[in-house]
Amino acid sequence: MADVDDALGRLAAELAERDARIADLESALAGARAAAHQRVSTDKPDREEQQ
């Protein structure tokens, strides 16, 4: 039974690491999207400026 408990403990730790990594990647993606959106919106001239 101790082996099962050890295995479950390792699995829980690995899942926690995976979840933390996913959160880091999602945060980085959100930042990259925000930066890209700002870059696009500042690169595009306003419609009023085009006319």
**Of how many residues is the chain composed?**
51
Both tokens assigned to 39: 């870059």
Q: At 11, is the secondary structure helix, strand, or coil?
A: helix
Give the C-alpha distances (Å, rounded to integers) separating 1 from 4, 6, 7, 8, 48.
5, 9, 10, 11, 73
**pLDDT tens column, 1-51:** 999 999 999 999 999 999 999 999 999 999 999 999 888 877 766 666 555
pLDDT on residue 39? 85
Both tokens assigned to 24: 């880091």
> What is the reported pTM?
0.68
pLDDT on residue 32? 96
